[in-house]
Structure 1
Amino acid sequence: MEKRFELGHGGPALCATTMSSPTDQQTREEQRREPHEHPRNPPPKEDVPGRTGSDGAKSGWRKRPLLVGLGALVLIALVVAGVLYWIHSRGYEKTDDAFVDVVAERVSARIPGRISKVLVNDNQDVVAGQTVVLLDPADYQARRDQAASALAQAEAAVAQARADESVRRAQLEQAKASRTAAEASRVQAQADVERYRKLHESGLGAVALEQVDRAEAAARTTAAQEDAAARAVAAAAAQVGFAQSQIEAAQAGVKSATAQLRQAELNLSYADVKARTSGRVAGRSAAEGNYVEPGMQLMAIVPRAVYVTANFKETQLDRMHPGQPVDVVVDAYPELKLHGRVDSIQPAAGQAFSVLPAQNATGNWVKVVQRVPVKIALDELPEEPYRRLGPGMSVSVRVSVR
């Protein structure tokens, strides 16, 4: 029996029941039995676009084992590479807060004067001892000549003092000779007195009393002469000592004049301002006609021997010590690879020596990781003149702390 429902366009639904014939029922039974009677030849399944399912996914990766294996290998390689990179990076400390540094020579005048000529240009290479600036030497030449004249006068005074000392010594020798003669005369007169007295006292009348008196008077005279000669010797000796002191004073004058001459010659030599180190001229401010004072900077000379100052975080210094190898990359020359070693580590953070150090005792305080300067000595420098490293150039460093 078959029921069929139909809807009218404007009326109520009409339901009709029809009775199926035996022929139709037999046809339907044959259609239901047909799939079971032919199981070996199932009808082909139609492909439905967008159909997905577990059966389709499993069949997809099973049909592509090479692609799946390659993906697994790539994943394993990435994991191994990540582990190796982590292990490798633990042995290095890096920073970009680094720059080339150098102890540059500040060329300055040592005497006041006016610049007569500048002998170097900006960025010019110079060698140690090369004259870079000339000052007007006229005043210093005159002072040098004056000092030379003073030295000549001092030397003449020494010669005069020596001659006077020679005269004084001759007078001393003459006084000594006169004293010796006076002493001999006294001795002779005293002997005559003794002899005349004995003869007079003998009573023989050989010597009169008058002769005895004259002998005694002569003895007293010779004694007085001897005493005067001794005083003359002392005076002559004092004159010799005075002459020697004059010589010493004149010699001191010579030393003073020599020092003044030497100073005048030095001042004259300072008129030629020279470079004390070899390097390249930078920051030249000297110009012809300018008047300079001692200590006034005229230019700077940057030597070739530079080093690197790297500001590492304080948390990166745990395993860092002098002597560790360092790789350096200069920002200006990325293809240039330099090598060096840790020379020293500053015993204080950079902010400790700043103009305005931090005052953390007042106000709100926020902890900030400090940076500590580390000096890195370079093992080699680029030989090319166009790859000259200069102070202030930025670099990146990597220290091996393993």
Structure 2
Amino acid sequence: MSQQEQNQIAERERTNRLRILSVAFGAGIAVVGVLIILYAWQLPPFTSQIQSTENAYVRGQITFISPQVNGYITAVNVLDYQPVHQGDVLMTIDDRIYKQRVHQAQAQVAMKKAALDNNIQQRRSAQAVIERNQAALENAKAQAVKSGLDLKRVENLTSDGSLSVRERDASRASNSQTVAEVQQAKATLDVSRQDLQTVIVNRASLEADVASAQASLELAQIDLDNTRIIAPRDGQLGQISVRQGAYVTAGTRLTSLVPQQMWVVANMKETQMARIRAGLSVSFTVDALDGESFQGEVEYISPAAGSEFSAISPDNATGNFVKIAQRIPVRIKITSDNAAHLRPGMSVEVNIDTSAEAENREAK
């Protein structure tokens, strides 16, 4: 074999080796790329028991303080961001009109009670009239009995000629009058009983008037009490939006109150929810506190995705469809003792440890 042929064979072998190395290198790059993607998406074999998200924030029970009555602010007793306790007077509204309304309502109550007391006196008087008319009826009955006996005697004397017919007729007229007087006394007694019933029925109306006047007094007193804006609970105030002398109406936002109770809401992707359950331990860091770490636990899981609570719900039954991973809000209870520096609205990074749930599934 000539030298030229040997060189050609060596060149072909070198080319084949280079091709093999190139194919192997390309395959290695492809494998590394696939592994990077699997790791980035936490897919097997790189599945992690820690479910993380940056879409999480500290939440709190922010209460907006507003008045229930209208008027001018006469005093502002607090400053922006000042801590307060339940019952502290934050501001006061001019109460002169409301005091006069209370006095007016008190006068109405007194007047209605006087009318009710007068009704009691009317009832006693009506009962006395009934007793008087009852006695008058008994007297009329007695007179009627006496007149009947007299008439009987006159009839006997007239029949034997001892008395004249004229005297008999006079006796009959007198007897008829006494009988009529009995009927009149009965009617008078019935009228007096009806008068008593009217007084009794009218008492219910007067009692209702007293109750209505007392309710008006209570409402006036509530309005007067509402001229003092008090803190509904312990917490820290936000910015004061009014000053002394400003006119406010019912519902005007005066300030806000932030209690110490706080929690974290983490909006997890639906693909992360398979092993998240209430009671799992959580760790999170806060951007505003140089990444300081806090501990917590899963307290509640939202009953629906966040999109279901939006004002305009998405309609996926129309047009082209692009699948987008939905977010499920998860409420996290803060268990750390160092949560005094947390503020509602702070951004946090949440890590939920699902290893306990995975162990429970394997045990089952």
| Gap change, CA 1:87 and 1:126, over 3 Å in 2 | farther
- For residues 198-226 of structure 1, the C-alpha deviation after alignment (integer angstroms, 9 at most, x for no partner) is 5655x4x5665555434322221111111
Q: Which moved more, 1:208-217 or 1:175-184?
A: 208-217
Kindly report which structure 2 residues correspond to 1:78-97, keeping only aligned pairs within 5 A, or say none: 90-97=48-55
- For residues 19-63 of structure 1, the C-alpha deviation after alignment (integer angstroms, 9 at most, x for no partner) is xxxxxxxxxxxxxxxxxxxxxxxxxxxxxxxxxxxxxxxxxxxxx
Aligned partner of 1:293 among 234, 240, 249: 249
Q: CA deviation at 1:239?
A: 1.9
Asked if 1:105 corresponds to 2:63, the answer is: yes
Quote the residue 1:226 is aligned against: 182
What SS does the corresponding residue of 1:390 show, helix, strand or coil? coil
What SS does the corresponding residue of 2:283 show, helix, strand or coil? strand
Quote the residue 2:353 is aligned against: 400
Please tell me whether the aligned partners of residues 105 and 277 of structure 1 are also in contact (alpha carbons under 8 angstroms): no
Whole-Å separation in 1 of the counterparts to 2:335 and 2:175: 101
Whole-Å separation in 2 of the counterparts to 1:323 and 1:192: 108
Whole-Å separation in 2 of the counterparts to 1:188 and 1:296: 86
Tell me which amino acid in the other structure corresponds to 1:395: V
Tell me which amino acid in the other structure corresponds to 2:232: R
Aligned partner of 2:136 among 156, 175, 178: 178
Whole-Å separation in 1 of the counterparts to 2:183 and 2:306: 88
Q: Which moved more, 1:336-345 or 1:142-151?
A: 336-345
Aligned partner of 2:343 among 382, 390, 393: 390
Q: Which moved more, 1:183-192 or 1:230-239?
A: 183-192
Asked if 1:250 corresponds to 2:206, the answer is: yes
Q: CA deviation at 1:138?
A: 1.0
Normalization by structure 2: what TM-score?
0.78
Whole-Å separation in 2 of the counterparts to 1:297 and 1:216: 93
Quote the residue 1:141 is aligned against: 99
Q: CA deviation at 1:90?
A: 2.9
Quote the residue 1:191 is aligned against: 149
Whole-Å separation in 1 of the counterparts to 2:153 and 2:127: 39
| Gap change, CA 1:391 and 1:191, over 3 Å in 2 | same
What SS does the corresponding residue of 2:352 show, helix, strand or coil? strand
Whole-Å separation in 2 of the counterparts to 1:388 and 1:246: 67
Quote the residue 1:326 is aligned against: 282
Please tell me whether the aligned partners of residues 310 and 397 of structure 1 are also in contact (alpha carbons under 8 angstroms): yes
Whole-Å separation in 1 of the counterparts to 2:214 and 2:70: 23
Whole-Å separation in 1 of the counterparts to 2:171 and 2:46: 126
Quote the residue 1:161 is aligned against: 119
| Gap change, CA 1:397 and 1:258, over 3 Å in 2 | same
What SS does the corresponding residue of 1:332 show, helix, strand or coil? helix
Q: CA deviation at 1:101?
A: 0.4
Q: CA deviation at 1:356?
A: 5.0
Whole-Å separation in 2 of the counterparts to 1:97 and 1:233: 89
Asked if 1:125 corresponds to 2:86, the answer is: no
Please tell me whether the aligned partners of residues 108 and 294 of structure 1 are also in contact (alpha carbons under 8 angstroms): yes
Quote the residue 1:52 is aligned against: none
| Gap change, CA 1:330 and 1:358, over 3 Å in 2 | same
Q: Which runs of 5+ in 1 are unaligned?
A: 1-81
Quote the residue 1:41 is aligned against: none
Whole-Å separation in 2 of the counterparts to 1:221 and 1:381: 103
Tell me which amino acid in the other structure corresponds to 2:350: V
Tell me which amino acid in the other structure corresponds to 1:391: P
Asked if 1:241 corresponds to 2:197, the answer is: yes
Whole-Å separation in 2 of the counterparts to 1:272 and 1:105: 17
- For residues 96-129 of structure 1, the C-alpha deviation after alignment (integer angstroms, 9 at most, x for no partner) is 2111101211110011111111111111111122
Asked if 1:261 corresponds to 2:217, the answer is: yes
RMSD: 2.5
Q: CA deviation at 1:265?
A: 0.8
Whole-Å separation in 1 of the counterparts to 2:188 and 2:233: 68
- For residues 366-399 of structure 1, the C-alpha deviation after alignment (integer angstroms, 9 at most, x for no partner) is 222121111112234437xxx4321101122222
Quote the residue 1:345 is aligned against: 301
Quote the residue 1:304 is aligned against: 260
Percent sequence identity is 30
Tell me which amino acid in the other structure corresponds to 1:304: Q
Whole-Å separation in 2 of the counterparts to 1:88 and 1:195: 134
Kindly report which structure 2 residues correspond to 1:58-73, keeping only aligned pairs within 5 A, or say none: none
Tell me which amino acid in the other structure corresponds to 2:276: M
Normalization by structure 1: what TM-score?
0.71
Kindly indicate whether structure 1 or structure 2 has the higher relative contact order, using CA contacts under 8 Å at least 6 residues apart: 2
What SS does the corresponding residue of 2:348 show, helix, strand or coil? strand
What SS does the corresponding residue of 2:342 show, helix, strand or coil? coil
Q: CA deviation at 1:294?
A: 1.0
Please tell me whether the aligned partners of residues 341 and 378 of structure 1 are also in contact (alpha carbons under 8 angstroms): yes
Tell me which amino acid in the other structure corresponds to 2:84: V
| Gap change, CA 1:279 and 1:320, over 3 Å in 2 | same
| Gap change, CA 1:137 and 1:381, over 3 Å in 2 | farther
Q: Which runs of 5+ in 2 are unaligned?
A: 1-38, 358-364
Whole-Å separation in 1 of the counterparts to 2:205 and 2:215: 15
Q: CA deviation at 1:363?
A: 4.5
Whole-Å separation in 2 of the counterparts to 1:388 and 1:198: 120
